[in-house]
Each structure stands twice: as structure tokens, then as C-alpha cells.
Amino acid sequence: MSPIGLQRLPGDILFGRGALASLAQTVAAFGRRAVVAADPFIAATPIFATAMADVARLDVDVTVLSAFEPELPVDTVHRIAGEAAAVHPDVVVGFGGGSALDLAKTVALLIAHPGPLSRYYGENRVPGPVLPLVAVPTTAGTGSEVTPVAVVADPERELKVGIADPHLIPRAAIVDPDLSSTTPAGVTAHAGADALAHALESVTARSRTHVLDEHLPVFIGRNRLSTMLGLEAARAIGPALPSAVEDGSDRRARDDMAWGSLIAGMAFGSAGTHLAHALQYPIGAMTHTPHGLGTGLLAPYVLQACVVAAREPLALIAAGWGLTGADDASSAQAAVERVAEIMDRSGLPVSLADIGVVRSDLGRIADLAMGVTRLVDNSPIRVDRDVLLGILDAAFTGDRSLIPAGTSSDDQESI
């Protein structure tokens, strides 16, 4: 039996240059009081001021909340949710990078349901609808504008934690590539690396069947719908990411990155991610480094471990990049090599040592990552602590040849 396909998406997705012009009418359709979670840098730009003025002209009271840090500490979420609740908003807008969009999601959640936020960590724990959400990404990275996931940093947990629930999917997503045109090279690299990791992990995720009379998990594994989207995302992002980093004014690269990030969000919002993200949760918290930097650094090592178990999907990724091998095995390896090359050209570090991890940290990272079961269980290979330590050791030394090919999960299905 082939795995079922599933897409849970916003009711409206607007993509293309000039799409931002639709924001005012989109917001006004949900009510007369709007709270906007905006990146501090974005909130100071003329394009943001113009967009907010357009919303206000439609008799919508706008409250902008922009005093928050990247990577979203949970205490910040609670503080801003309290400020937002005092306004009694009808709609919450996220305007910025992944942190702004995830803040909007968690604020909409905490206005509708009692805190603390920790009661919703994990999958399918939000009891009902949240306030209507409108998402406007300004970086090509997280895909959060179309996903059921929000990620926060919780110091008490020693790792970043995710809330995954269909109720967090925005009601509308507005993706305008013009908004990313001034994104600095470093932010472009880290966000884009995360988008590529989303595409790659959605295509290589474990495939499995589900009993339809049971409550489906948020991440259902690789399926035909997610694979189609993930392959398109990888095809677009692969060549565009280094180009966008090297020349931020490259309009074609910016368009392809915005498109690829959006489609990758659709793909992993259904299929899910796996080991690069599971490992990055503790690494990001430990090193205080950007999420996309970690997932991008780890992606070649994780794919190397999966190169046999995920041979066919990796060969499809290679084909999308015009890489051909003598057989699927050589094509799959070529895809892994190209991923490493893309991350290197985009300026990402090669090893965990480069971002402050020390060898004595590796065991603790593996232990914490094993606790992220919704991602570990989504891997195409059988995973235990030793498998993760093997990936981490290779990533620490910067040598993928140290990684043995993982054993395929027993219950993978053909798609």
C-alpha cells in the first residue's frame, strides 16, 4: 500500500513580486484590530511603514510589537503575548523572518488558549483554533508561512523545542520576493540553507502507511505529494542559494529562493524533517547560533548516513540538478556531494568545531536529540545513540567519510 498524501495549507497563498499590496485587504477581512510581530530591523524600513499605513487606511488599528530577540526565547514569547492580549486583537500578523512568524504563531496561540507555552510542546497538543494568522516572510528560509510548526528556545530544556499542530497554520500567506532583496549575505545563507534542508529532509524522510481512522501525526513521512513539492524546492534552491549569497541583487536568484522556500515549507509541513533538525535543536541552544546555520552544516553529514536507505529519492534530487551517475547509488552520492558544495559556496562552516562545539559535548547532544522523537522516528535509517554519535563525530571533524551507511527503517513503503 502506498503512503497517503496530505497537505494542510493556508486558505490563501499569494506569491510573486508585488504580492505585498494585498496585505491590507487580507488583514482587514479578519477584523478591526491587528497585532503585528515584526523583526526590529524590518519594522524600521520604509516598505514596512507603507504597508502598515495601507492597513490603517482600511480602519484597522495596528499595534506593532518588535522588541524581541532572534531564535525566540520562550520568556519573550510570554511577555509579548501579554502585551498583545491587552489590545484584544482580531488578527495576528507575522512580518519578517522565521522568528517573527513563529512569534506570531505562538502569540495567536497564547491569546486563544492559556499558557504557559510549554503545555503545547510536541505534536497535536493545541486544543482548538488560534487567532487568525497572516504571515509575510521577508527571508527565504523557514517556510513558516505555510507550516504547522513554531520553534522557540527554552533554556530549561537545553534545546530548542517545537510546537507542531495544524491549528498553527496561517490563514493567509503573502510571499513577495521583493521583501528579501536587501537581506544581508549571512542571513540569506543561513535562511536559505534551512530551506534547502527542509526540501532534502522532506524528500528523504521515512515513508510509512497510516491507519486513517486514527489521529494522524503532524508529520506523516514522505509521500507522493510531499516528494513532488520537495523535489521542486530542491531544484530551485540548489543553484539559487550560492548566487543569492554572492550577489544579493540577483533577481532571478531571489525569486527562486522565495519560491523554493515556500514550496519546501509545503513539503516538510506534511512529510516532516528528520535528523539534521533533531540534532540542531540542542546544538543551536548550546552554541547560540542561527538555526539555519546548524541545519545547513549538518545536512551533508545526515544525508551521507542516509545515502543507501534513501538512495532513490537522493537520485531524484540529483536528476533535478542535472547530475547523472551510472546508477542510483552513484547519483545519490553525487547529490550528497553537491549539497556539501552548495553549503560551502554559501559560506557555511564545515564542522561543528567551527561553531563552538567541543568533543565532550557530543554525547549530550546525541542524548538530547534522541528525545526529539517526532523527528528521529521520521528518519529513513534506524537510529540509536551510536548512530547519532557517528554523525556528530564526522561533523565535528569535518570528514563525511567517517560515517557508515545507515540501515533502512524496516517499514518503509514505496511511493
With beta carbons less than 8 A apart as the criterion, state whether 279 and 391 touch.
yes
**pLDDT at residue number 411:** 56
Residue 180: inside a domain: no
- Give the count of beta carbons closer than 10 Å to the beta carbon of residue 246: 15
CA dihedral (5, 215, 204, 121) in degrees, to 10, reads: 130
Q: Name residues whose C-beta falls within 8 Å of residue 274's C-beta, 6 or more positions apart in sequence.
A: 201, 204, 205, 206, 302, 375, 376, 378, 379, 380
pLDDT at 209: 80
Tally the domains of the chain: 2
Task: Please indicate, yes or no, whether residues 214 and 149 belong to a single structural domain of this protein.
Answer: no
Q: Are residues 110 and 213 in the same domain?
A: no
Do 170 and 195 fall within a single domain?
A: no
From 175, 199, 221, give the residue that closes a domain. 175
Q: How far apart are CA 355 and CA 335, in angstroms?
A: 25
Query: Count of CB atoms within 10 A of residue 155's CB?
Result: 10
Residues whose CB falls within 8 Å of the CB of residue 262, separated by 6 or more in sequence, listed in order = 13, 15, 143, 145, 146, 173, 175
Residue 327 lies inside a defined structural domain of this protein? yes
Q: Measured between alpha carbons, how far is 100 from 34 in angstroms, rounded to an integer? A: 15
Residues 359 and 389 in one domain: yes
The C-alpha atoms of residue 63 and residue 37 are separated, in whole angstroms, by: 9
pLDDT on residue 226: 96
pLDDT at 409: 67
Q: How many CB atoms lie within 10 A of CB 182?
A: 12
The CATH number assigned to the domain holding 388 equals 1.20.1090.10
Q: Is the dihedral of CA 112, 145, 269, 244 positive or negative?
A: negative
Question: How many CB atoms are located within 10 Å of the residue 2 CB?
Answer: 11
Query: Using one digit for the tens of pLDDT, what is the confidence trace for 209-268?
Result: 876 656 788 999 999 999 999 999 999 999 999 999 999 999 999 999 999 999 999 999
Domain of residue 31, residue span: 19-175
Do 291 and 162 have their domain in common?
no
Q: Is residue 291 located within the same domain as residue 335? A: yes
For residue 408, tell me if it sits in a domain: no
pLDDT per residue, tens digit, the chain (415 aa), is 567 788 999 999 999 999 999 999 999 999 999 999 999 999 999 999 999 999 999 999 999 999 998 889 999 999 999 999 999 999 999 999 999 999 999 999 999 999 999 999 999 999 999 999 999 999 999 999 999 999 999 988 888 899 999 999 999 999 999 999 989 999 999 999 999 999 999 999 999 887 665 678 899 999 999 999 999 999 999 999 999 999 999 999 999 999 999 999 999 999 999 999 999 999 999 999 999 999 999 999 999 999 999 999 999 999 999 998 899 999 999 999 999 999 999 999 999 999 999 999 999 999 999 999 999 999 999 999 999 999 999 999 999 999 987 777 655 555 5
86 SS3 class: coil
Domain-ending residue, one of 141, 175, 209: 175
Residues 228 and 134 in one domain: no
What is the model's pLDDT at position 311?
96
- Asked, for residue 412, whether it belongs to a domain, the answer is no
Same domain, 258 and 339: yes
Distance in angstroms (rounded) separating the CA atoms of residues 263 and 236: 10
160 and 225 belong to one structural domain: no
Q: Residue 315 domain-assigned?
A: yes
Partner residues linked to 173 by β-bridges: 13, 135
User: Is residue 8 in some structural domain?
Assistant: no
pLDDT given for residue 367 in this prediction: 97
Residues 237 and 165 in one domain: no
Do 149 and 191 reside in the same domain of the chain? no
- From 157, 175, 193, the end of a domain falls on 175
Preceding omega of 114 cis (within 30 degrees of 0) = no
Q: Judge if 107 and 234 occupy the same domain.
A: no
Answer whether residue 280 is part of any domain. yes
Count the residues in the chain: 415
Distance between CA atoms of 129 and 114, rounded to whole angstroms? 13
Q: For the domain that residue 66 is a member of, what is the CATH number?
A: 3.40.50.1970
pLDDT of residue 212: 67
Does residue 11 lie within any of the structural domains?
Answer: no
The strands making up 149-154's β-sheet, listed across from edge to edge, are 122-123, 159-164, 149-154
